[in-house]
């Protein structure tokens, strides 16, 4: 971290007199005053709750009676709970598919957007950005109605094509893919925007040099764009993995986690256990596991991308 | 050369077509909100006889067989506005103050506090959900604006974003202000805040979007309909009225989404630029 402050000079090194000493002392208290409003809230609403969650994950509690310490009991119970394994699997599928398809799609979109003229590109960017600024509740309900079995527009289309209508959100095989399609749609513009920023930070001299050497569009993409875009792609990957592991509103609103828990993510199960059944200890154990998963997957992403850059 | 131009037109054409398809759910939402009941399930995208009936119902209540169902939609709107404004003022102030300290001061524990903040930024909201809910139910914050406003003020990401920007403000300007006898808080108002305006603008839009659209936390701490925010209220409409609600729910969605789209359009250049700068440095 760069240290820039001029008042850093210790009094011993500084030849100045008392006046400077006083202002030095003033600015020694100032930073603490500046960060105080944030850190008071941070301790109350972030740090202490996190520690308390850690403790609750080792206890049994419904919020009313006294907390009963049970050691690793919650984690053992989770490891034997088929609902938890199912939720883990569902969330993993969502995370992997949406990240891979979504990142590839938004990369393609961002690259193509750079090829059209600026005014059209900025209009299109706004369109693709819309789902990023729309409430997930609004998005989920639009899609829920589009997927509706009897009156939804997707089944109107399917029937016009001469196919049988589907129970998109009630069919155990289709519900998860249906949610994934919606998630990819919703995430495309945001990732494309961030990738666009990365694309613009690549110095044009690289492309000029490649053109002099007679490189084709594809080899330009593989040998210049992609390697130089790695830090940006790492950022996109990490943020979307964290977001997707915690996905809650979309499955909850589209299917409520059904049919047969086929779309129940960890977060939906956590909400159910914690806030519908008041099993605070059990839900806290899930929160701890979820936090660990996010931490580890971010770390692995960084490692992966870094290792690739160093070849 | 000619080939390149044809290719470029081809790409532009493809992207426009894709954008229209991409936009379809929004077109469908808007179209639904202007359909009379009889057309809601017609299977056509656009209404044959457009009407404001759904909006009228949403705002004035739904009359059905002598019963009147009222969705307090304007109350949801008011609640969302109050919470968003209060939270924005608080969050931008606390973030800017802390970012100034982290960008321009040296103090004991700085690195530790900074990394503590960044480390917890990586943790999901689920790690704080249950304790905070319990605390709020103990101190009577459930069903109050307090429950929504105070936790939303804690925004390590904003501090990170602003710090990145403030570090680029030349120290000479701060030194000059010091020579003029300005203390840290004066420097904050006179130098740091005006010069950080682009980053502050980005942060405002960012937080606006987050608070305006937040769903999980309001869902947990709001039980009374009179306290609902727009996302919770719109989600709740489904449970109240069943199938009849399609039209008015889409009307509510349109009304909840329009201000957000306007803000993004108005702040488009600044917001997107700031966002790009922040993302790149992260």
pLDDT band for B7, please (50, 70, 90 cuts): confident
The answer to whether domain A74-138+167-309 has CATH 1.20.120.520 is no
Closest chain B CA to residue A294: B123
DSSP secondary structure letter of residue A223:
I
Disruptive mutation site among A5, A24, A25, A46 for chain B (greatest number of B CBs within 10 Å): A46
Q: Which chain B residue shows the shortest CA-CA distance from A202?
A: B280
- Residue B137's alpha-carbon distances to A28, A45, A59, B140, in angstroms, are 39, 14, 20, 5
Residue A226 has pLDDT above 90, yes or no: no
Q: Cα–chain-centroid distance for residue B247?
A: 24
Cis peptide before A115 (omega within 30 of 0): no
Q: Which residues of B touch A62 (CB under 8 A)?
A: none
A contacts of B14 (beta carbons < 8 Å): 112
Do A194 and A109 touch, CB atoms closer than 8 A?
A: no
Chain A contact probe: residue of B113, B116, B129, B269 with most A CBs at under 10 A? B129
Residue A83, token pair as written in the block: 């609902």
Report the complex ipTM: 0.90
Asked if A287's CB is within 8 angstroms of B23's CB, the reply is: no
Residues 6 or more apart whose Cβ sits within 8 Å of residue B81: none
- With 50 as the cut, is the pLDDT of residue B206 above it? yes
Read off the pLDDT band of B277 (50, 70, 90). low
Closest CA to B261 of B29, B59, B89: B29
What distance in Å separates residue B66's CA from the closest CA in chain A?
27
For A35-165, list the strands marked E by DSSP.
59-60, 68-69
> What pLDDT does residue B263 have?
83
**For residue B268, what pLDDT band results from cuts at 50, 70 and 90?**
confident
- Give the C-alpha separation, A70 to A82, whole Å: 21
Q: Say if residues B204 and B84 touch (Cβ distance below 8 Å).
A: no
d(CA B64, CA B123): 48
| Closest CB to B41 among A116, A151, A235 | A151
Asked if the Cβ–Cβ distance from B8 to A115 is below 8 Å, we say yes
- Tens of pLDDT, residue by residue over B210-252, are 999 999 999 999 999 999 999 999 998 875 555 457 888 999 9
Mean pLDDT for B197-203 is 87
B188 pLDDT more than 90: yes
Nearest-angstrom CA–CA distance, A84 and A282 = 11
Q: Where are the domains of chain A?
A: 74-138+167-309
A12 pLDDT tier (thresholds 50, 70, 90): very low
User: Which residues from chain A sit within 8 angstroms of residue B231, using beta carbons?
Assistant: 135-138
A50 or B38, greater pLDDT: A50
- Other CB atoms closer than 10 Å to residue A256's CB: what's the count? 14
In chain B, what residues touch A20 (CB-CB under 8 Å)?
none
Predicted local confidence at residue A10, as pLDDT:
37
Residue B163 pLDDT grade (very low, low, confident, very high; cuts 50, 70, 90): very high
Q: What is the pTM of this model?
A: 0.89
Interface with chain B: mutation pick from A2, A8, A138, A191, highest number of B CBs within 10 Å: A138
Q: What is the mean pLDDT of residues B164-173?
A: 91
Does domain B73-281 sit in CATH 3.90.1170.40?
no
Confidence at A26, pLDDT banded by 50, 70, 90: low
CB nearest B127 (choices: A35, A253, A291) = A291
> Of the ranges A15-19, A236-240, B18-22, B202-206, which one carries the lowest mean pLDDT score?
A15-19
Angle at B89 between CA B88 and CA B93, to 5 degrees: 110
Residue numbers in A near B261 (CB within 8 A): 130, 133
For A164-183, what is the mean pLDDT? 94
Q: Per-domain residue ranges for chain B?
A: 73-281
Provide, rounded to the nearest whole percent, the portion of chain A with pLDDT above 90. Answer: 56
> What does the pLDDT read at residue A1?
35
Lowest mean pLDDT among A37-51, A141-155, B57-71, B118-132: B57-71
Residue A10 CA to residue A190 CA, distance in Å, equals 47
Residues of A in contact with B151 (CB under 8 A): 41, 45
Instruction: Calculate mean pLDDT across residues B18-35.
Output: 95
Q: What average pLDDT does chain A have?
A: 86
pLDDT band at A197 (very low <50, low <70, confident <90, very high): confident
What's the average model confidence in pLDDT over A247-269? 93
A9, pLDDT greater than 50: no
Residue A41 pLDDT level (bands cut at 50, 70, 90): very high
Q: List, in order, residues 6 or more apart from B281 with CB less than 8 Å away.
A: B164
Of A76-90, A137-151, A214-228, A275-289, which gets the smallest average pLDDT?
A214-228
**What is the average per-residue pLDDT within B19-41?**
92
- Report chain B residues whose CB lies below 8 A from the CB of A145: 28, 32, 246, 250
The shortest C-alpha distance from B64 to chain A (Å) reads 22
Q: Does the pLDDT of residue A105 top 60, yes or no?
A: yes
Query: Closest approach of chain A CAs to the CA of B63, in angstroms?
Result: 23
Q: Which residues of B touch A191 (CB under 8 A)?
A: none
CA distance A195 to B124: 24
pLDDT at A52 over 90: yes
Share above pLDDT 70 across residues of chain B, in percent, rounded to a whole number = 91
Give the C-alpha separation, A259 to A238, whole Å: 30
> What is d(CA A39, CA A32) in angstroms, rounded to the nearest whole number?
9
- Which among A32, A23, A33 has a CA at the least distance from the CA of B178? A23
Whether the Cβ atoms of residue A87 and residue A264 lie closer than 8 Å to each other: yes
Residues 6+ apart with CB under 8 A from A98: A180, A183, A184, A187, A240, A244
The whole-angstrom distance between A83's CA and the closest CA on chain B is 18
From A6-15, A226-235, B39-48, the region with the lowest mean pLDDT? A6-15
Report the C-alpha gap between B148 and B100 in whole angstroms: 26
pLDDT of amino acid B267:
76
pLDDT (mean) for A95-116 = 94
Q: Are A110 and A192 in contact (CB under 8 A)?
A: yes
pLDDT in tens, B139-150: 999 999 999 999
What is the pLDDT at residue A193? 87
Nearest by CB to residue B171, choosing from A6, A134, A280, is A6
């Amino acid at each position: 971290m760069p240290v820039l402050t001029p008042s850093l000079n210790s009094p011993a090194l500084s030849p100045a007199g008392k006046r400077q000493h006083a202002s030095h002392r003033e600015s020694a208290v100032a930073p603490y005053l500046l960060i105080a409003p944030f850190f008071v809230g941070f301790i109350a609403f972030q740090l202490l709750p996190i520690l308390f969650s850690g403790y609750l994950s080792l206890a049994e509690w419904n919020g009313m009676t006294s907390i009963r310490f049970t050691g690793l009991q919650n984690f053992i119970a989770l490891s034997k709970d088929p609902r938890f394994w199912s939720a883990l699997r569902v969330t993993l599928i969502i995370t992997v598919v949406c990240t891979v398809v979504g990142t590839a799609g938004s990369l393609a979109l961002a690259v193509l957007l750079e090829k059209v003229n600026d005014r059209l590109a900025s209009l299109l960017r706004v369109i693709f950005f819309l789902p990023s600024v729309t409430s997930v509740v609004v998005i989920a309900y639009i899609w829920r109605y589009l997927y509706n079995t009897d009156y939804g527009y997707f089944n109107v289309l399917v029937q016009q094509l001469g196919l049988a209508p589907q129970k998109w959100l009630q069919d155990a095989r289709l519900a998860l893919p249906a949610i994934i399609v919606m998630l990819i749609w919703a995430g495309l513009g945001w990732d494309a925007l961030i990738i666009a920023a990365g694309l613009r930070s690549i110095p044009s001299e690289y492309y000029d040099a490649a053109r002099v050497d007679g490189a084709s569009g594809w080899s330009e993409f593989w040998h210049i764009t992609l390697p130089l875009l790695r830090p940006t792609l790492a950022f996109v990957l990490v943020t979307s993995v964290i977001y997707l592991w915690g996905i809650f509103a979309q499955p909850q609103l589209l299917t409520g986690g059904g049919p047969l828990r086929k779309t129940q993510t960890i977060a939906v199960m956590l909400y159910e256990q914690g806030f519908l059944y008041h099993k605070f200890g059990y839900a806290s154990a899930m929160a701890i596991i979820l936090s660990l998963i996010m931490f580890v997957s971010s770390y692995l992403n960084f490692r992966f991308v870094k290792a690739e850059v160093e070849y | 050369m000619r080939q390149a131009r044809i290719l470029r037109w081809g790409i532009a054409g493809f992207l426009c077509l894709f954008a229209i398809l991409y936009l379809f759910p929004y077109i469908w939402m808007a179209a639904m909100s202007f359909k009379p009941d009889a057309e809601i399930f017609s299977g056509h995208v656009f209404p044959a006889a457009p009407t404001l009936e759904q909006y009228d119902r949403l705002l004035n209540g739904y009359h059905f067989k002598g019963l009147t169902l009222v969705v307090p939609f304007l109350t949801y709107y008011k609640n969302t506005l109050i919470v968003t404004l209060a939270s924005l003022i608080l969050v931008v102030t606390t973030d800017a103050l802390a970012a100034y300290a982290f960008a321009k001061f040296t103090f004991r524990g700085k690195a530790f506090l900074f990394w503590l903040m960044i480390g917890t930024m990586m943790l999901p909201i689920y790690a704080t959900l249950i304790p905070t809910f319990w605390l709020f139910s103990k101190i009577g914050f459930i069903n109050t604006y307090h429950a929504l406003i105070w936790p939303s003020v804690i925004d390590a990401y904003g501090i990170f974003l602003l710090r990145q920007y403030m570090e680029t403000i030349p120290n000479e300007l701060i030194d000059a202000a010091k020579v003029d006898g300005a203390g840290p808080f004066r420097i904050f108002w006179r130098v740091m805040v005006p010069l950080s305006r682009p980053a502050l603008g980005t942060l405002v839009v960012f937080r606006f979007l987050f608070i305006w659209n937040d769903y999980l936390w309001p869902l947990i701490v709001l039980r009374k309909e009179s306290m609902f925010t727009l996302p919770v209220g719109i989600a709740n409409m489904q449970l109240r009225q069943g199938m009849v609600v399609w039209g008015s729910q889409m009307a509510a969605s349109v009304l909840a989404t329009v201000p957000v789209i306007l803000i993004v359009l108005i702040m488009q250049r600044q917001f997107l630029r700031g966002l790009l700068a922040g993302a790149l440095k992260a």
